[in-house]
Structures are given as C-alpha cells and as structure tokens.
C-alpha cells in the first residue's frame, strides 16, 4: 500500500461551508451507511498499491458511491486512475488535494466533473457527520501514522495507540459511513473503520465535494435533499 497526499494548500476556489451556510446545515441522523450500495469486492485498489495515487483513488471511490445511489454505479479502472495520476504527478511525488479538486472541476476525470468543493470546520461537534449526510461523503486528508498501517494489515480498526507513532506520510480517503463510535472509509480496496479519536488526531484537511452525481434524474439526493436555491448558486461559482 502506498501513501501520496501532499501537505494541505490553500486554494482560491475552496468554498467555506460555514461562510455560505452558517449554522443552517441540516441535522444529521445518528448513523449513516452510504456504502451499502457498492459491493465489497467492487472498490478496487485503483493503482494505490504501486503508486501514491490515493487522491485519485479517493475521488473515484466517491463517484462510485454517488452513482451507485442515484443511477448505475460507475466502475473506474486501475488504468484510468494511473493515467490521470501519471499526468498530474509524472514522478510519483503525490498530489495536493485541492489541486486535484480543481482539476476534477475544470478538466474532469475522463469527462466526469464536479461543481466545486468546500472546506468546513471539522472540529465543531457533529459537523463532520453533517457534511457526510448532506453530500454523501467527506474527502479526508490525514497524516498517516505507522501504527495505522499495522492496524490495517491486521484488519483492526484505526485507533490511537499509546506513545508516539511516527508519521509515514499523507493519505487521502473518502468517508462514507458514521455512527456513535466513528466512521468507515475506503482505502486500499477495502471498507475500513476508524474511531472518532483517531480521526480527530490525524485529520489535517477535509472537504465536501459538490457533484451532480449525488442527485438523480428528478434532482433529489438519496438523503431527500433537493436542488434548491443553494445548489443553483453553487453551480454559478
């Protein structure tokens, strides 16, 4: 398994959930299981075992989840992921998440584009879950400790271990499910659990990604959110 998320970088096109919505975000349910529409063996490694293309794999996994809910699931391939990554990082040096989000919005992944993305204050209680509920996922960037790789290989939930575990690099994962104990993300072809304390300790950036794929043909999302005035305003950005 490879890492490949570079340190966070400010981007002029990054919206702010709080600035735009304030405290008007809808209340999230106590638990959400968005990933159930995607078969466990369908996620795919998408090249992240040989290259540090975790940011690209994250985006493709998010799109798989959205389209599985609102139409026919789009199945991405390793060849597609590697082609995009090699173009953006020809020396396999990793990617900045916001740079990739800008690419996804302006050029798109083989024609698949998003409308935009927004940062949010994930330190606010329940804000992470609100964003996950509203947009169908959260694009997460973490500083990845060596203990987490050991836990992943052992099939164990990501938890904070005693003592200081060295950071091996940055990693990008999409969060789809949440409950009282924590979240589940997709990484290295698997759905994997992390407790809230691990997320709070190692998360260093997180974004709501705004995509047409989250809405069906009658413009209603799986959480029953409709394309209202907010959505119309975001499309103009």
User: What's the Rg (C-alpha) of the chain?
Assistant: 17
**What pLDDT is stored for residue 122 in this prediction?**
92
The crossing angle, in degrees rounded to 10, of helices 78-88 and 54-70 is: 130
pTM: 0.91
Q: Are residues 109 and 58 in contact, defined by beta-carbon separation less than 8 angstroms?
A: no
Question: DSSP class of residue 23?
Answer: T
- Whether the CB-CB separation of 160 and 197 falls below 8 Å is answered with yes
Q: Give how far the C-alpha of residue 53 lies from the chain's centroid of Cα atoms, to the nearest Å.
A: 13
Tokens of 103: 């690419």
Instruction: Return the pLDDT at 140.
Output: 98
Query: What tokens does 146 get?
Result: 């060596």
Three-class DSSP category at 5: strand
- Please give the average per-residue pLDDT across 162-181, as a whole number: 94
pLDDT band at 237 (very low <50, low <70, confident <90, very high): very low
Q: What residues does 223 pair with on adjacent strands? A: none
Q: Specify the pLDDT at position 21.
A: 65
What pLDDT does residue 214 have? 85
The C-alpha atoms of residue 26 and residue 127 are separated, in whole angstroms, by 10
Maximum separation of any 2 CA atoms in the chain, in Å:
52
Q: How far is residue 138's CA from residue 77's CA, in Å, rounded to a whole number?
A: 22
| Architecture, CATH, for domain 27-235 | Alpha-Beta Complex (3.90)
> Quick one: average pLDDT of 113-133?
91
User: Helix (H, G, I), strand (E, B), or coil: what is residue 177?
Assistant: strand
CA atoms within 13 A on the CB side of 66: 29
Overall average pLDDT of the 172-189 stretch: 96
Of the pLDDT bands very low, low, confident and very high (cuts 50, 70, 90), residue 208 is very high
Domain borders along the chain are 27-235
Residue 185 has pLDDT above 70, yes or no: yes
């Amino acid at each position: 398994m490879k890492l490949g998320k570079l340190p966070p970088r400010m981007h002029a096109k990054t919206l702010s959930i709080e600035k735009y919505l304030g405290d008007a975000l809808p209340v999230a349910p106590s638990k959400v299981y968005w990933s159930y529409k995607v078969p466990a063996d369908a996620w795919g490694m998408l090249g992240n075992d040989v290259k540090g293309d975790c940011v690209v794999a994250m985006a493709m996994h998010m799109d798989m989840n959205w389209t599985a809910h609102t139409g026919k699931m789009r199945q991405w391939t390793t060849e597609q992921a590697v082609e995009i990554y090699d173009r953006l990082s020809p020396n396999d040096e990793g990617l900045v998440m916001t740079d990739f989000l800008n690419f996804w919005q302006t050029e798109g992944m083989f024609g698949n584009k998003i409308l935009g993305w927004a940062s949010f204050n994930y330190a606010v209680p329940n804000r992470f879950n609100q964003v996950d509920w509203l947009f169908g996922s959260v694009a997460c960037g973490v500083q990845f400790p060596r203990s987490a790789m050991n836990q992943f290989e052992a099939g164990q939930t990501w938890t904070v271990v005693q003592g200081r575990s060295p950071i091996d690099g940055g990693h990008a994962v999409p969060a789809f499910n949440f409950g009282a104990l924590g979240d589940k993300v997709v990484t290295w072809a698997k759905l994997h659990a992390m407790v809230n304390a691990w997320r709070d300790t190692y998360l260093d950036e997180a974004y709501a990604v705004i995509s047409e794929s989250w809405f069906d043909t009658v413009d209603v999302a799986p959480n029953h959110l409709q394309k209202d005035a907010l959505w119309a305003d975001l499309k103009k950005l």
